[in-house]
Structure 1
Amino acid sequence: MKRSRIRMWLLGGLALALALMTACSNTNPSGSGGAEGGEKPLDIRIMTLYYTPEPPGKDNVIVKEVEKRTNTKLDITWVSPNSYGDKVNVTLASGDIPDLMLLDNPFTPQVRTMVEQGAFWDITDYIKDYPNLSKYPEESWVNTKQADGRNYGVPRVRPVEGGGFIYLRKDWIDKLGLQVPATTDELYTVLKAFVEQDPDGNGQKDTIGYAGFVDQQGMALLGQLQNVFTGANGDWKLVDGKLVNVNVLPEMREALVWLSNAYKEKLLPEDLAVLKNTQAKDLLKAGRAGGFQDTVEAAWEPTQELRKTNPEADFLPLVSLNGYVNRDSGYFGIYAIPKSVPEEKMKKLLAFLDYGASDEGHELAWYGLPGVHHTVEDGIYVMTEQAEKDIVAQQAFGQIFGKYDKYQRAYRVGMPKDVLERNKRIIDERAEVSVPDVAVGLFSDTDVKVGAELRKKIQDMKTKVILGKEPIEAWDAFVWQLKKDPDLLKITEEMNAAYQKRNSGS
């Protein structure tokens, strides 16, 4: 087995070297010591995000090691997520676009216009030459296609399974003699028991069933509960081959009745219209709430906190409800290459990202150097204090390099192996039934102009119904008007046209 792994590593390195050689350039990013062959390092300007307290500097050990292994000279502009959108807009408008630029939202009107004007390389026909990028899931490529059905950037790959969905206090379920719910009726029974049957055993009726909340623009952390009823991942559902806005479907009415009853019986937070995400998580960590919506591995965060005083505490991510669970898009932004970059260099940039999508490149960026930044215990990476000092993290250079890992959302630092293995099984089971968002990347000019205000109006009525400020009949009257709303009719027409155009171009 070890000899086989070594041979695969050598073959992978040979494939990378061959890909770089075919780029026919005087510069050569190579993991095989290109500098020793006398070739000048390839200069690469990159703009990307960082989520660590401070970004890596030019002399960062990982930056330097990447440069050494790929024979490159990196000039990285690290931007805080708090201002990244503004930085993207300014950079695109300036025309001085770096060689690799992370477009966190590749479907803004500005990006769409620039794609139509030929500002970025169409890489669709090149990807087959890069074995590691080719391993990205189909969704990563399909969901980042522009209106013409072509790809104008390399997806910053993310897993398609394990996204934000419902998780519950399994230890409370067991204590109360209940079963893990598989339907919304069963979920209601469980949440009601969480509120009425003193699951924390403190003799007081002070627990909340589900710590979800809404905001002015949407259903926020009650979103997946809504989707369980509509069976759609997002605002649009395919009905007889046509996209229909879920708010006009009868299943939306059912969802609002369920949520309104849950609020009336105090299964949901009293302040759900103003509750913030951090406040909701505080309820979980304080042992006051029995459920929430988040990624599979994120269920470990409140579990870990509770186990400091209660070793039996356990938040269990559900596989599905009513046969539904969401399937994610497989990406978070794309790395675009401006057309001002010559074709030979463009190919080398793809080779650079291909190395980053290899096992070796991924491990270097995410976990650093073995024995220095991490050890591996029982198949799990254990980070050292030096890793923190050297800013070695997925939140740093891992924003540039990363391979596709189906189980990326199964693990968090400190998680025991039994929880990790359970999370992997949950992800495998979700893959059998998960539902994608059919409208990812579709464009409606009318939605750009009036969509935000329309969504705010729809959410305002939903919130009033959930809080009992309006009866369900008010929703019925609202939907009757919504079906005739000229803006929604135009958005629906444009979304369907975009859907058909993209599919015909794929």
Structure 2
Amino acid sequence: MKKMNMKKAAAATASAILATTMLSACGSEPSAAKDGAGKTNEAPESISIITEFNTPEAPGTDNPVLKEFEKRTNTKLNIMWTSPNSYNDKINLVLASGEMPDLVKVLDFNSSLMRQMIQQGAFWDLTPFLKDYPHLMEYPKSVWEKTKIDGKSYIIPSVRPLHGGPGLPIIRKDWLDKLNLKVPETLDDMYNVMKAFAEQDPDGNGKKDTIPLVPRNDLGWVEGVLNHSNGKWKAQDGKLIDTTFEPGTREALLWLNKIYKEGFMPADYAIMKETQSEDLAKTGNAGIYPNTIEAIWRVQAELIKTNPEANFLPLSYLSSPAGKYAPSTPGFSGVYLIPKSVPEAKMKKILSLMDYGASEEGFLLACYGLPDIHYTTDKDGFKIATEQAFKDSVSQSSFGKIFERFDKYLWAYRTGMPKELFERNKKIVDERETASVDDPSVGLISETWLKAGPDYTKKMNDLKTKVIMGQEPIEAWDSYVAKLKADATYMKVIDEMNRAYQAVKK
């Protein structure tokens, strides 16, 4: 693929999808304004951004927090808020079109298309400039190191806490209490809880209509518990092991097949969108729902309107013979890039904008909004959200997806959450830190995987789903694993990942 010459079909499709989106982002530059003394001020810099949001509604163009950011940073922000549903597909089309906004968020740090475009010079190398932006430099050094590509910083990490993220179930504590059940610590405990949720009418409506588990397209935690691994790779005896070949992966498929056959999760779980899973959880029929510690408040806040006792408890860990398991995050959730088509002066203005967002003042504005409008403060300094905060979609899941500061307990709090729940969640974050399992592969690259990985991943995930749903026997997985072990291309990936791992260790 030649430099900046993407496939014509992808470009044409992307152009069509972007046509309406970009209209709002490509307005004419505002003219210079004059202040009260008659002096000419610098015109606001127009900056277009594409990112995702996880609030019920995206902030509008007249949002007071947006306007305040523009005022404080002398910018005109044209934000293309995009649903998390199929976000990766949308971004791939945006990248392939060549007609990108000024600031682009990519959720998949290992996106082969993004990596190819970086190699082709499509994005700014920010390495020489970042030192001039002190608040961005306050991000953990480990996060900056993990997100370097070929030793350079092409991206701004969408910084997030190390603990409290996705990867463990969250369970209805009020249902456990009603059925006199303990908080589950093992997969056997989880099975017994699901069985009780299915058969013992925990919601008390006299019907067997509860859904023990709503997966949210996230069943990897079962493999994680059994393999004691955080993702596809784990470090063992000084090298990287591909967990595809681990007995725990096979065991996880058998366990999940049992759960599926028992009817403990939706029959169509594999095709449910993220928003559909959350909507199902909000009906009050779901007993277990994997998510971040703070995001579950979106569900609980709806349930307590009609059932004040509803209480989702994030698990601190799950255990197996290998030990306690609580997956850590790499410290970021997605990355931001600035296309090279953006002039250098504007690129620096974008960095200034992001630097302000990483300051205490900017972060406060992004996540909490304006004092006395979006929040009030109690005597202990705890911020209490007002109704206006919800109306204006003020949250770390909207503006806080762009303007970010490293905060250990960011995933412990959600707009509107009561103080006692925040304090409980902080303790869970601390407990997860003691059982933390890291992903040793973050930042490591196999060139072969960049090209062939998407195809392997799709086939692997499709087969896992078929085994879980009983459409294929477990022997089909055994056969597939045997073929992978004899596949020279796949084994080359393992070799390349280990070379990269050893290089980092040195």
TM-score by length of 1: 0.77
Of the structure 1 ranges 251-260 and 489-498, higher mean CA displacement relative to structure 2 is found in 489-498
**Among 78, 87, 96, the residue aligned to 2:94:** 87
Question: Which residue of 302, 317, 320 maps to 1:320?
Answer: 317
Residue-by-residue CA offset, 1:432-483 (whole Å, 9 max, x unaligned): 2222333334433433444333233323433343334444344333322332
Instruction: From the superposition, tell whether residues 208 and 380 of structure 1 become closer, same or farther in structure 2 (CA, over 3 Å).
Output: same
Aligned counterpart, 1:355 = 356
Matched, 1:230 2:260: no
**Cα distance in 2 between the residues matched to 1:397 and 1:191:** 37
Look up the match of 1:193. 196
Gaps of 5+ in 1: 1-32, 214-219
In structure 2, do the counterparts of structure 1 residues 75 and 210 end up closer, same or farther at CA, with 3 Å as the change threshold? Answer: closer
Task: Flag the 1:409–1:86 CA change in 2: closer, same or farther, 3 A.
Answer: same
> Measured at CA, do residues 122 and 417 of structure 1 come closer, stay the same or move farther in structure 2, by a change above 3 Å?
same
Cα distance in 2 for residues equivalent to 1:348 and 1:382: 31
1:268-296 alpha-carbon deviations (Å, 9 max, x no partner): 33444445544544443333332121111
1:305 — aligned with what? 302
- Structure 1 position 303, deviation (Å): 2.6
SS at match of 2:436: coil
Q: Which residue identity is paired with 2:147?
A: T
Deviates further, 324-333 or 262-271: 262-271
Q: Is the 8 A contact 1:49 1:84 kept in 2?
A: no
Q: Deviation at 1:75?
A: 5.7
- Identity among equivalent positions (%) equals 46
Residues 288, 150 of structure 1: alpha-carbon distance in 2 compared, 3 angstrom cutoff: same
Structure 2 equivalent of residue 334 of structure 1: 335
Contact 2:394–2:415 under 8 Å retained in 1:
no
Counting matched residue pairs gives 457
In structure 2, the CA distance between the partners of 1:310 and 1:454, relative to structure 1 (3 Å rule), is same
In structure 1, distance between residues paired with 2:155 and 2:49: 14
Q: Does 1:422 align with 2:419?
A: no
Uncovered stretches (5+) of structure 2, i.e. residues with no partner: 1-34
* Distance in 1 between residues matched to 2:402 and 2:293, nearest whole Å: 23
Paired residue type of 1:486: A
CA distance in 2, matches of 1:109, 1:433: 32
**What is the CA deviation profile of residues 240-282 of structure 1, one whole-angstrom value per residue up to 9, with x for unaligned ones?**
2333321111111221222233333333334444455445444
1:244 is paired with a residue whose SS is: strand
Please state whether the residue corresponding to 1:238 is helix, strand or coil: strand
Q: CA RMSD in A?
A: 3.5
Q: Which among 433, 436, 450 is matched to residue 434 of structure 1?
A: 436
Q: Does residue 496 of structure 1 match 2:477?
A: no
User: What pairs up with 1:40-439 in 2 under 5 angstroms?
Assistant: 40=42, 43=45, 45-49=47-51, 51=53, 53=57, 57=61, 61-70=64-73, 72-74=74-76, 76=78, 78=80, 80-81=82-83, 83-90=90-97, 93=98, 98=102, 100-105=103-108, 107-117=110-120, 120-124=123-127, 127=130, 130-146=133-149, 148-164=150-166, 165-212=168-215, 220-322=217-319, 323-337=324-338, 349-377=350-378, 379-385=382-388, 388=391, 394=396, 397-439=399-441
TM-score (normalised: structure 2): 0.77
Structure 1 residues 124 and 372: CA distance shift in structure 2, 3 A: same
Q: Bigger CA drift: 224-233 or 340-349?
A: 340-349
Task: Specify whether residues 212 and 237 from structure 1 end up closer, same or farther in structure 2 by C-alpha distance, changes over 3 A only.
Answer: same
Match of 1:321, as an amino acid? L
Shift of 1:430: 1.1
CA distances 1:386-443 after superposition (whole Å, capped 9, x unpaired): 8846x75555544442222222222223322222211111112112222233333443
Q: Is the 8 A contact 2:45 2:346 kept in 1?
A: no
CA–CA distance in structure 2, aligned partners of residues 66 and 313 of structure 1: 36
